[in-house]
Structure 1
């Protein structure tokens, strides 16, 4: 049987969860309105919730490109595709016991906030499902709408799913958007942080010379990075792997010839670097910066990104994702070459 009640429409969570978003300012239990039912809140909370009161996904992240695992300064990946968006929401499976806990916590929270309409709704739902024992002991799962907890700060979210939960037993059609490895690959991509390295210049950045070619390399070779995203139920994982592919250098001034150069990375072992000593293109500054001033040289790394439908970064490639960028500015002081007259 699909759905939590026969003949009853499934919950449209945008109404109920809007009220739940206000629960952070809820009054203490002693201030309960008796007419609501004076429920006692649980001593512990096991349901993860995002800041707006919606149920957050149980997705977890790991890998060299997550958090501070990369070591040194990092930048969140900037996608080359301006239309790229991570998934906002999806459905994850819960056991009857887990789903019962979710409803209990929402029921207590609504009562605690004197949210009479919401409380009455959960009171009725709990009463009906208690009679059915939440389908405990039956084959199947509760599929619950959850939200991506790691959306970009400027993302308004665009979840178009409306059914809060549903029971799916044998022979029932699956939920409209169950979590998939492809969804998790986009979530992992969005969570990826990449090394932000400045280039090593020769001559040095504070001692560049007019009409002298600038050679570029990295003082420390760059590794590829990966991020794995996984959820426990259903057990799904995806791993995003990013490798440095190309380096773009912008001189930061029109007084350079050329004003920009592009270089491929070369791989030695498991690390990547560039060395432009023998390259056909090397920036040459044609005008000194003057005392106390500088040009801002920009080094942009392009990262080639693929994903696997496993928790293994060396797993078979399942597809490509948009290239990513990291950009590092660097001040450059350019001096005239001193000549000695004899």
Structure 2
């Protein structure tokens, strides 16, 4: 089996007595594509560095930074994949194992049991079940290795990809449920989508009055479809998938029970022109907004914490005409709303 280090890398484990967990350098991992901005296109390719195999999946489109706080939260009991398997060439895999072995053996203070474990791991592919990493079959197949979703390094589901690297002949199925497919790429892309913050536009903008309807809407220039494409082209395998999220509703929670929402459910749905809510226009002060709030009591010297949550409908398309729906996702933030009493003048 494999263990997961604090950096989210799979390590050699279980090679002594079937239970020993050993953390070593140079294990398979996935590298997150760094974002160049809160919105806009980014692209990052994986690669192989000294002894480390990183995911070959590339992400492009509206990609959020690793560990960013704008991840969609699925509305159902579902999570994007924590790990999957990808192919590697014989040369790449040999470099990975040999460099991992050398680094571990030569690390000052490394425990003897760690050296023994990595030695046993190396022997499987060099001198044991396989010979010389199957170099004589380099054109006949690939090694398949486990990689981890880099934004889910603490997810226990990462242990599901527990098979040691295994050989798959060309045109044969890998035989594991987590072998990378367009759908797995689509689910990984779901995790990578950068969403806009959910601050809604309000009118009045700088504060409202008790019993005065406050209009709320989303900026159409910002709240539009966003997409991420995940691609993998390695070992003769060329697959890709594009995951697209579209805003479909806005839920308003006033931050106090002394308020009314429009509509009464607090959920403003998509209009015919794909907008949500309606911008305030002069002369509509006494009208009921299609999306908004009416506060019934002053916030005093403070403010109410209005929570705005957008629901996103998610679909995907991929290699070979594959595609479908993924669970809808939500993302919400809060903003301060100051509510004042209307001052009356007595004469």
TM-score (normalizing by structure 1): 0.74
Contact persistence 1:110–1:118 (CA under 8 A): no
Match of 1:109 among 95, 100, 103: 103
Worse-superposed segment, 131-140 or 83-92: 131-140
Match of 2:71 in 1: 76
Contact persistence 1:16–1:118 (CA under 8 A): yes
1:264 aligns with 2:259: no
Any gaps of 5 or more consecutive residues in structure 1?
A: 1-11, 25-43, 50-55
| Distance in structure 1 (CA, Å) of the matches to 2:289 and 2:228 | 33
Give the ranges of 4+ consecutive aligned residues of structure 1 lying more than 4 Å apart after TM superposition: 16-20, 128-133, 170-173, 276-281
Match of 2:119 in 1: 120
> Which protein shows a greater Rg?
1
1:308 aligns with 2:311: no
With over 3 angstroms needed to count, the CA separation of the structure-2 counterparts of 1:194 and 1:124, relative to structure 1, is: closer
1:328 aligns with 2:337: no
| Distance in structure 2 (CA, Å) of the matches to 1:101 and 1:220 | 50
RMSD: 3.2
Highest relative contact order (Cα 8 Å, sep 6+), 1 or 2? 1
With over 3 angstroms needed to count, the CA separation of the structure-2 counterparts of 1:140 and 1:281, relative to structure 1, is: closer
| Distance in structure 1 (CA, Å) of the matches to 2:255 and 2:133 | 69
| Distance in structure 1 (CA, Å) of the matches to 2:133 and 2:224 | 54
| Distance in structure 1 (CA, Å) of the matches to 2:292 and 2:132 | 76
With over 3 angstroms needed to count, the CA separation of the structure-2 counterparts of 1:124 and 1:86, relative to structure 1, is: closer
With over 3 angstroms needed to count, the CA separation of the structure-2 counterparts of 1:316 and 1:276, relative to structure 1, is: farther
Any gaps of 5 or more consecutive residues in structure 2?
A: 1-10, 27-47, 281-287
| Distance in structure 1 (CA, Å) of the matches to 2:168 and 2:153 | 34
Worse-superposed segment, 323-332 or 84-93: 84-93
Q: CA deviation at 1:303?
A: 0.6
Match of 1:34 in 2: none
Worse-superposed segment, 162-171 or 83-92: 162-171
Match of 2:250 among 243, 247, 252: 247
| Distance in structure 1 (CA, Å) of the matches to 2:292 and 2:313 | 24
Contact persistence 1:185–1:307 (CA under 8 A): yes
How many residues are aligned here? 292
Q: CA deviation at 1:298?
A: 1.1
TM-score (normalizing by structure 2): 0.73
Match of 1:319 in 2: 324
Match of 1:238 in 2: 241
1:141 aligns with 2:139: no
| Distance in structure 1 (CA, Å) of the matches to 2:310 and 2:133 | 57
Which deviations, in whole Å up to 9, do the C-alpha atoms of 1:60-106 show, x marking residues without a partner? Answer: 222114339xxxx971111111x212223322122221222122123
With over 3 angstroms needed to count, the CA separation of the structure-2 counterparts of 1:218 and 1:89, relative to structure 1, is: closer
| Distance in structure 1 (CA, Å) of the matches to 2:98 and 2:252 | 57
